[in-house]
Structure 1
Amino acid sequence: MDTDRGGVAGFRLTGRTWAGDLGIWSSAVAADGRRGSTLRFDPRLVADSSARERLIAAVVADRRLTQSGLTGLVPIADLITAQDEVWLITSEPAAPTVRDLLSGAPGSPGPDAGSAATVLMETAWTLLALHSSGLVHGELHPGTVVIAPDGSALLAERGLLDALLGRPPAPERDVAAWASLARGLAATWASADREAAGLLEQVAATASIRGLAAARDALLAGRDLLPSGFTTRARLAETLHRWPAHEAPGRGGPPPPVPAAPDEGEIVTLLHVPRTGEQRTREADGHRPEDVVLRFGPGVPAETTAAQIWRAGRDQQQTEPPSDRLRTAAAPHARRRRGRTILSSAILALMVVGALALWLFRGSSAPLEVTKVDVSAPKKTQGCDTTVRITGVLYTNGAGGEVSYQWKRSDRKEPIVQTDQISSGAASHEVSLDWTVKGEGSFKGTVVLSLLSPAPEGKKIQDRATFTYKCS
């Protein structure tokens, strides 16, 4: 059961804990009832000051991405330290994860092949957005893919382990991890559906050979092999609705102890840059910007809790014992280095936001272009009196506008012409055609999807697909 273990940065720890790669996670509840989570880092990972500085830069980049509109990450509310402990606070729950759901929930139908495809599609989009911004996740696995209450897939712990270990970003490691995730879900959630499992194995191989974007497109093109309505996330949302909220996520063995909440009066954070006026005032008083430390706790309004400043390795000249005088003497140099690091982190964050904005809105000022079309039909032989769903994908340059296309069926002379409006920012647009076949006999149907406009001069953009009908 949930047990009140005190509060941290305006969040009350509820006593539900689980072990992660970086330390101990705990569920938490904000003063307004919103649920979130806290992560108390393993002290060994954050003992080095340079590791803390890299951690701060990673968190700042994450917050900038989230504020600019990227929705595929678990949002971070704060990063704090108190009494040599470092805590990460998220404004949404960081559980359950795919790893938790793999163990099953009592009374739940459990995720299916469509759920697996949803997780893979959404994590692929998020990873591609990160890579376009020059960032990576770094430690993708079932334990860092969180399922939100609406069934969407969010990535947790983005870039944190790389930052703490000082590892350079490696997009290829993300791709390999995504392929491994696809194979694992094929063998578990999709195991009851042979064709769907085969599709997930295929996209895993595609990711390894041709990259993540090609794997995402292959998954989308093979959607006819997946349960209908998988894009609604309904099965995942139902699974979470039945998930016992009062139980800790399954990890095997006894749960880790609940971390004791730090004294609110000792908490400081490093996720705030002083405003210009505030900086000038403090410099006039003889304080440099890197000396500014805002505290929160008793007597400070609750609404400012998450806006305070944590600065790693803050000046401890008045509290350090004599044996630490040598380290204290070097503190001014360390503070200057931290000041430069903070400035560099802010510049990096602005560059990341700009790159992400260019990726999200590329082509918004350019006319709509369709670069390719793909068509797929069911591979299974269709039985008597059936309606065959033909699906197509139009790949665009991300600009918005009107697109016109036609379907040409082998059983009729006149084509079927359709016109759709495409929103700006979408790199692809899905279309479909229903073909009803009745009566006895065998029949091979062929359909050709052709782009009418906007079409490049002198070039045909089209694709075809076939299916087999047999009724005796």
Structure 2
Amino acid sequence: MNADRRGLAGFRLTHRTWTGELGTWSSAVAADGRPGSALSLDPRLVADPAVRDRLVAAVVADRRLAQGGLTGLVPVADLVAAEGEVWLLTAEPASPAVTDLLTETSGVPRPDAGAAATVLVETAQTLLALHAAGLAHGALHPGNVVIAADGSALLAERGLADAIYGRPPSPERDVAAWASLARGLAANWAAPSPRAAELFERAAATASTHGLAPARDAVLAGRDLLPPGFTTHDRLVETLHRWSAHDARTRGGQPVAAPAVPDEGDIVTLLRTPRTGESRTEDVVMRFGPGVPVETTAAQLWRAGREQPTEPPSGKLRVLGAPARRRRRRAALSSVALALMLVAALAAWLLRSSTVPLEVTGLEVVAPKKTQGCGATVKIKGLLTTNGSAGEIRYEWKRSDRKETIEQTDTVASGKTSHEVILQWVVKGEGSFKGTATLRLLSPLPGGKKLQDKAAFTFRC
């Protein structure tokens, strides 16, 4: 397709196309000159109106997350339909992806283990935020982990596969996909650094057994095994620049087989505000504030200097006369009102929540002093003192009558400086017995030091 041909809802398709699992991607330029991308979804996948409704709900959820401050997704500018086709337009490029940088290319340095760690930490943090909001990516793989211009890792195609195939959000599927990504980067980008590769393998195993937050923390805790300067995006930015130059040289003068663009007058946005009497299903439960995973200090440093999200440009529609203008004014007013409410809610939460990462400063275990009798269920309490911030506490109980430990994770709300955990110990049989319960903090550890306490009780039957 000629690059000077018709545009698509304010976007002009340019020089590069690539095939994805859900359709064909094209690089594009928005009306204001900013680079973006356009995904032409496979018409066979979006023929059902119910699928389109689910796609709209997924995109609306993403835009709400962006308004709430999430920066880890490729921002969606619009979702448009024309002549039986559906196009997703993004306000930032959806390439290159990790898969583009896995293959050795002449003149393009392969990212190192530090870059791999950056990608793993940032994708894990984005997935944790999605899961806390009741959402999931649904089809994470190296082809939709995008390296942005500043070297940060963004996720593309969030929720699209689940919407098309009618699947409910599955954080477990995301965790398994992240573990697979970690193993792939261990074998590729981290191959020259065996110790770093082992770190990523351990993180993948941790994700599979204990979850994504401990796996992310495992990568951060292994900074001594990574190259100097890994907390910056410098290596990824260097690779991105050289890859872009190589890609431009490779494609220079070659015809571009882009999808045919429908006539501009037939294009309509699917992200309109419903009129009176109409309805749209948006089964999206958003949760902000306490409960959303808090980044560790190292992760916050990694994210320092990232651009704040900007409002993505909306697609241009043809002029339809006064009724259409009135509908657009009502839609604009509704959008402004919704945005103001979201900003007010977020500001209220920020005012009452702490920006300091959660810290546990003390731990105490208390067991019953009175001798426990026949058939007793002994209740042992652990009291953890915190700095009042929100986040996750991971800990384990160890009973003196067993070898295995009992590991648990609790979410604490901001504003509380103590958190109580309970171990219920059932004692059966006759005779005398002295039991000891030990509580050990796993994360967050104060300055990397161990924090544990124990208490004992007496049983007689």
- Unaligned stretches of 5+ residues in structure 2: 281-311, 319-330, 363-385, 392-413, 416-444, 451-461
- Unaligned stretches of 5+ residues in structure 1: 292-302, 310-341, 374-394, 401-423, 426-459, 466-472
Change (3 A) 1:262 1:397: farther
Question: What's the counterpart of residue 371 of structure 1?
Answer: 360
Indicate the percent of aligned positions where both proteins have the same amino acid: 62
How do 1:103-122 residues align onto structure 2 when only pairs under 5 Å count?
103-122=103-122
Matched residue type, 2:315: A
Q: Paired residue for 1:306, among 293, 308, 315?
A: 315
How do 1:39-438 residues align onto structure 2 when only pairs under 5 Å count?
39-245=39-245, 247=247, 257-273=257-273, 306=315, 361=350, 364=353, 370-371=359-360, 398=389
- Alpha-carbon distance in 1 for matches of 2:113, 2:19: 28
**CA deviation profile, 1:141-186 (whole Å, cap 9, x unmatched):** 0001000011100000000000110011110000000000000000
Offset, 1:359: 13
Question: What's the counterpart of residue 16 of structure 2?
Answer: 16
Q: Is the 8 A contact 2:26 2:37 kept in 1?
A: yes
**CA deviation profile, 1:49-104 (whole Å, cap 9, x unmatched):** 11111111001101111122100000000000011110000010000000001123
Q: Is the 8 A contact 1:5 1:14 kept in 2?
A: no
Q: Is the 8 A contact 1:99 1:143 kept in 2?
A: yes
- Alpha-carbon distance in 1 for matches of 2:93, 2:389: 32
**CA deviation profile, 1:363-409 (whole Å, cap 9, x unmatched):** 71699852279xxxxxxxxxxxxxxxxxxxxx966469xxxxxxxxx
Q: Is the 8 A contact 1:129 1:359 kept in 2?
A: no
Offset, 1:200: 0.5
**CA deviation profile, 1:111-158 (whole Å, cap 9, x unmatched):** 000010000000000000000000000000000100001110000000
- Alpha-carbon distance in 1 for matches of 2:142, 2:348: 27
Offset, 1:462: 6.0
Change (3 A) 1:73 1:397: farther
Tell me the matched-pair count. Answer: 323
Offset, 1:209: 0.5
Change (3 A) 1:104 1:217: same
- Alpha-carbon distance in 1 for matches of 2:104, 2:211: 31
- Alpha-carbon distance in 1 for matches of 2:448, 2:19: 49
Offset, 1:246: 7.3
- Alpha-carbon distance in 1 for matches of 2:388, 2:105: 42
Worse overlay, 72-81 or 215-224: 215-224
Offset, 1:16: 1.0
Q: Is the 8 A contact 1:96 1:249 kept in 2?
A: no
- Alpha-carbon distance in 2 for matches of 1:158, 1:140: 8
Matched residue type, 2:113: A
Q: Is the 8 A contact 1:368 1:397 kept in 2?
A: no
Offset, 1:39: 0.3
SS in 2 for 1:230: coil
Offset, 1:262: 1.4
SS in 1 for 2:92: coil
Q: Is the 8 A contact 2:150 2:237 kept in 1?
A: yes
TM-score norm. by structure 2 comes to: 0.63
Matched residue type, 1:61: A
TM-score norm. by structure 1 comes to: 0.61
SS in 1 for 2:247: coil
Matched residue type, 1:32: D
- Alpha-carbon distance in 1 for matches of 2:248, 2:20: 13
Matched residue type, 2:56: I
Change (3 A) 1:358 1:57: farther
SS in 2 for 1:8: coil
- Alpha-carbon distance in 2 for matches of 1:217, 1:259: 43
Q: Is the 8 A contact 2:15 2:256 kept in 1?
A: no
Q: Is the 8 A contact 1:4 1:15 kept in 2?
A: no
SS in 2 for 1:247: helix
Matched residue type, 1:53: D
SS in 2 for 1:244: helix
Matched residue type, 1:102: L
SS in 1 for 2:79: strand
- Alpha-carbon distance in 1 for matches of 2:5, 2:34: 17
- Alpha-carbon distance in 1 for matches of 2:233, 2:113: 11
Matched residue type, 1:159: G
Q: Is the 8 A contact 2:12 2:29 kept in 1?
A: yes
How do 1:436-455 residues align onto structure 2 when only pairs under 5 Å count?
none
SS in 2 for 1:126: helix
